Amino acid sequence: MRPLVTIIIPTYNRDQLIGETLDSIRTQTYHNWECIVVDDGSTDHTKELLGFYCEKDDRIKYYLRPNGFPKGANSCRNYGFDHSKGKYVKWFDSDDIMYSQHLQTLVDAIHGSDLDFVIGDTINFRQNESIKKKPFSFNREEAEIKVISFAKGQIGWITDDFLVLKSVVNNLKFNENLRAGQEYNFFTRLLFKTENGIFVNKVLTKARLHSGSLSMGYRQNEIRRQKIISEIKILTLKDIFNFKEGELNKWYLSGYIQLAFKLAVKNARIPYVFLAIGYMIKINNPIKTISFILSIISAYCFKSGYKLNKFSRI
């Protein structure tokens, strides 16, 4: 028998969409899978809908996130992983759709090889519209999978694209403190552990764009977007700091410093500022750390301090 694939889907109030997602999984040409859906406390009819699907197909399993786990997709993914039984694991979103060859193509690429993971491709869509754009644009034929290239956005993929050996990620959890960018953070940490993967250059997923998407909401509010990105940068720096990748550590810190200044100019709260100052002391010299603090005070009080902030970044 072909190896079992575990599909983990976090969901919250998606009873109008998740049925189409589950239908696309049930029509896979690769049949040896289990699908674990973890509900983040939905208030719609998700529970009833999943009851119908679980009764129709015993490969689908429904869990409600326990109260002891923090709210959020990251926590649901981690809880789902704890219940996974497959040799391979893939995470998927509750509003996206698999093409029928999705699992078969990825399993064929990894099974029997010495690879740790494989990565398919995705195309975006809106209901009743045809959208050709992909989430990431780069030359997949020539691109190498390297942690620095991924961290700096030179290559990329969405969670739906990814299939990995469970044994490779047994001790790797999604960061439950992040409100967004959790997949980026997770895959950055994974690539410090292994870069032994390949791109499978076939579109295997349709990623749904709609007003309820978290990424759409973040883009519509600039201050909120800057806060989210600054959180991603400093918490990812925290997660990778012990790998002692000097260039990447400085890159994350520089990006955070710049965003912190922009937020201060707008009188917005800067997330994790004391944590960031701690890493500045470890990575930069004391003069640059003091320059950052003075630039933030100047930005809040006088809407100035750009040169001080720039000095603290370079």
Domain range for 235 is 221-313
Whether residue 3 has pLDDT greater than 90: yes
Across the chain, mean pLDDT equals 93
Q: Is 274 helix (H, G, I), strand (E, B) or coil?
A: helix
**Residues 60, 203: one domain?**
yes
Write down the H helix ranges in 90-181: 102-110, 147-151
Span 167-206, pLDDT tens digits? 999 999 999 999 889 999 999 999 999 999 999 999 999 9
- Range with the poorest average pLDDT among 35-39, 45-49, 310-314: 310-314
**Residues 112, 236: one domain?**
no
Q: What is the per-residue pLDDT for 128?
A: 65
For residues 106-118, average pLDDT: 97
**Residues 122, 267: one domain?**
no
Tokens of 170: 């047994």
For residues 261-274, average pLDDT: 97
Span 123-171, pLDDT tens digits? 998 876 666 688 898 999 999 999 999 999 999 999 999 999 999 999 9
**Residues 87, 160: one domain?**
yes
| Closest by Cα among 136, 86, 132 to 120 | 136
| CA 99/CA 229 separation, integer angstroms | 31
| CA 118/CA 140 separation, integer angstroms | 13
For residues 28-47, average pLDDT: 97
256 with 237: CB under 8 angstroms? yes
| CA 275/CA 39 separation, integer angstroms | 32
Single pTM value for the model: 0.91
For residues 47-75, average pLDDT: 96
Number of domains in the chain: 2
Q: What is the CATH number of the domain that holds 13?
A: 3.90.550.10
CA atoms within 13 A on the CB side of 148: 9
Tokens of 109: 């690429």
Looking at residue 46, what DSSP letter applies? H
More confident position, 5 or 215 = 5
Q: Which helix (H) or strand (E) holds 300?
A: helix 286-302
CA atoms within 13 A on the CB side of 101: 10
**Residues 269, 249: one domain?**
yes
Q: What is the per-residue pLDDT for 213?
A: 52
Write down the H helix ranges in 98-213: 102-110, 147-151, 182-193
Whether residue 33 has pLDDT greater than 60: yes
**Residues 233, 90: one domain?**
no
**Residues 117, 83: one domain?**
yes
Q: What is the per-residue pLDDT for 150?
A: 97
**Residues 46, 112: one domain?**
yes
Q: What is the per-residue pLDDT for 216?
A: 47
Tokens of 234: 């400093």
Which amino acid is it at 60? I
Q: Which helix (H) or strand (E) holds 91?
A: strand 88-91
| CA 156/CA 226 separation, integer angstroms | 20
Q: Is the torsion defined by CA of 278, 284, 290, 296 positive or negative?
A: negative
Q: What is the per-residue pLDDT for 126?
A: 83
CA atoms within 13 A on the CB side of 181: 22
| CA 265/CA 92 separation, integer angstroms | 38
**Considering 214, 230, 255, which residue would you say is the last residue of a domain?**
214
**Residues 16, 151: one domain?**
yes
**Considering 180, 214, 248, which residue would you say is the last residue of a domain?**
214
**Considering 146, 179, 214, which residue would you say is the last residue of a domain?**
214
**Residues 291, 306: one domain?**
yes
Whether residue 242 has pLDDT greater than 50: yes
Whether residue 112 has pLDDT greater than 90: yes
**Residues 159, 133: one domain?**
yes
Q: Which helix (H) or strand (E) holds 145?
A: none
| CA 300/CA 264 separation, integer angstroms | 5
Q: Is 38 helix (H, G, I), strand (E, B) or coil?
A: strand
**Residues 252, 153: one domain?**
no
